[in-house]
Amino acid sequence: MSLEYINPADLPIPETYTQVVVGKGSKLVFISGQEPEDIHGKLVGHGDLAAQARQVYANLGRALAAAGAEPQHVARITVYVVNYERDRCLSIIEEARKTLFGNHKPADVVVGVAALSPGYLIEVDAIAVLD
């Protein structure tokens, strides 16, 4: 598997993601939206975006491993955040994201939503590419 990372010269160079990721491989892995739940399906970190974000990325790592994938195989993620405000939320999300991805920078989009499940503040899905 290989991922080619492209930050076009005429677009801003992002700190925590890549503008364009080209995946070359023979196996695609689609990970459903991971929620801030423990193994028993109980919400972790009620009202705490940072705690929920850490749980979501930990769950995403577990889901990837179950498919034989690793964080560096991820080409794209979508982050859904309740009542998203860039100044208030982005640094919290990025800190949690780095716990899974480190310096790996898949393409991403952050989507502000009105609501998820009651009490849930964040959900993340992913697409990975493997050989």
Dump pLDDT digits (tens) for 23-38.
Answer: 887 899 999 999 999 9
Domain that holds residue 32: 2-130
C-alpha torsion sign, points 14, 17, 19, 22:
positive
The per-residue pLDDT for range 9-67, each reduced to its tens digit, is 999 999 889 999 998 878 999 999 999 999 999 999 999 999 999 999 999 999 999 99
Looking at the predicted structure, is the pLDDT value of residue 1 above 70? no
What is the structure's pLDDT at 29? 94
E strand or H helix that includes residue 23: strand 20-24
Beta-ladder partners of 124: 34, 79
Q: What SS3 class is residue 73? A: helix
Please provide residue 108's backbone torsions phi and psi, each rounded to the nearest 5 degrees: -150, 165
pLDDT at res. 26 = 85
If phi > 0 it is left, if psi is from -120 to 50 it is alpha, else beta; for residue 47 that is left
Looking at residue 92, which CATH number applies to its domain?
Answer: 3.30.1330.40
pTM: 0.89
pLDDT at 79 over 90: yes
- The number of domains in the chain is 1
Predicted pLDDT at 2: 81
